[in-house]
Amino acid sequence: MLTVGDAAPEFELEDHRGETAALRERDGPVVVYFYPRADTPGCTTEACGFRDRHDEFADRGVEVLGISDDPVSDLAAFAAEYDLPFRLLSDPDGEVANAYDSYGEKKMFGRVFDGTFRNTYVVDEGRVVAAYEGVSPEGHAEEILTDLDAMDSAE
């Protein structure tokens, strides 16, 4: 798991609209959240939490980027179905998730497979300013907003 102060690995991925997104192109803080699979219960809860708080992130100048190993077509359907206003990025080989210590061996229902872990990072000026490992989808967006406010107060 990357920790606060670590350099955030650069990435360039295709989003749900077929456009390329690169970390270096972001102005201001960015929430980079990794999730296992589009349109599953936990991932939908988490995405809808970010959707419902999107204006609060925007008011703070914070962009939200969701990353999974889903294909672009699945991300497009997921974004459309739940009216997600932020970009969903496809990391089909898990290379970016791996660079963020958010990809590896998982076990579910007796099966062992490689997949994306539910981790989140807040990145600002190329550095990790907050890290969340194995997050709970419910209330995660609110947790980040609270922490962002605390960071602002501490400055």
User: What pLDDT, in 10s, does the model give residues 108-126?
Assistant: 788 998 889 999 999 999 9
DSSP one-letter code for 9: P
Residues labelled catalytic: 43
Q: pTM value?
A: 0.95
Which pLDDT score is estimated for 107? 84
Please give the helix or strand (H or E) that residue 49 lies within, else none. helix 41-52
CA atoms of 123 and 62, how far apart (whole Å) = 10
Mean pLDDT score across all residues of the chain: 95
Residue type at position 49: G
Q: Are 146 and 27 in contact (CB under 8 A)?
A: no
Is residue 152 pLDDT above 90, yes or no? no
Instruction: Name all domains of the chain by residue range, CATH numbers in brackets.
Output: 12-136 (3.40.30.10)
